[in-house]
A = this chain, B = another copy of it.
Amino acid sequence: APGMELSYRSTISIYKSILDEFNPALENLVYLGNNYLRAFHALSEAAEVYFKAIEKIGEQALQSSTSHVLGEILVQMSNTHRLLNSDLDVVTRTFHVDLLQHMEKNTKMDVQFISESQKQYELEYRHRASSLEKCTTELWRMERARDKNTREMKENVIRLRSEMQAFTSESQRAAELEEKRRYRFLAEKHQLLSSTLLQFYSRV
């Protein structure tokens, strides 16, 4: 049955691609995401310190006889930027909690889940294939011996084959769904991040 063989190889290759490509890529993404997050925090801190210094100069100007209004402008500017900064902290929190932590948890659990799914699939496929082969060999032997129970065995082989066909195509669909779910998770989570960022920008 070349159809089942093809389906088997396709299913196994999907499991392999989740294990060997998708999950390591996600793990790497979590690592890069944590770097990205640290860079966000560092920027937020640097901005805070910078605008704190601007505020101090503004307060100095407020005390001068010549530049009271300019001092007000500088203090106000500093306040605006620091408010902006605290809004940006909401974005980084979303990024951290809703995305990175979620991705990290998922990859850790997924490696075990997918390896076990693959192992179980291989076992059941081999079990079904060997049952089918045994019955087929038995059928040939019975046909050669003109056994009176040939018809029964023939029906048995047909049933086993159709069951196996159903099993391989269902398993393939299940594996495809697993793959698709993972890419969808990634796309949805990043669209959430994008919309949080856009919300932040439009609030400016």
List A97-152 residues whose CB lies under 8 Å from chain B. none
- Copies of the polypeptide in the assembly: 2
Chain B nearest CB, measured from A202 CB (Å): 8
Whether A90 sits at the interface, judged by CB under 8 Å, is: no
Q: Considering the chains assembled together, what is the distance between the CA atoms of A71 and B25 in angstroms?
A: 14
Whether A29 sits at the interface, judged by CB under 8 Å, is: yes
Chain B contacts for A56, CB-based, 8 A: 25
Chain B contacts for A38, CB-based, 8 A: 46
- A interface bracket (residues with beta carbon within 8 Å of B): 35 or more
**Interface pair B32/A39, CB less than 8 Å apart:** no
Whether A19 sits at the interface, judged by CB under 8 Å, is: no
**Interchain CB contact (< 8 A) of A61 among B40, B64, B71, B183:** B183
Q: Considering the chains assembled together, what is the distance between the CA atoms of A25 and B39 in angstroms?
A: 26
List A139-176 residues whose CB lies under 8 Å from chain B. 176
Q: Considering the chains assembled together, what is the distance between the CA atoms of A121 and B189 in angstroms?
A: 67
**Interface pair B190/A77, CB less than 8 Å apart:** yes
Q: Which residues of A contact B (CB under 8 A)?
A: 10, 14, 17, 21-22, 25-26, 28-29, 32-33, 35-36, 38-40, 42-43, 45-47, 49-50, 53-54, 56-57, 60-61, 64-67, 70-71, 73-74, 77, 80-81, 176-177, 179-180, 183-184, 186-187, 190-191, 194, 197-198, 201-202, 204
16 contacts between A and B (CB under 8 A): A21-B60, A25-B53, A25-B60, A29-B53, A29-B57, A35-B50, A36-B43, A57-B183, A57-B186, A61-B183, A64-B183, A66-B179, A66-B183, A73-B187, A77-B191, A201-B201
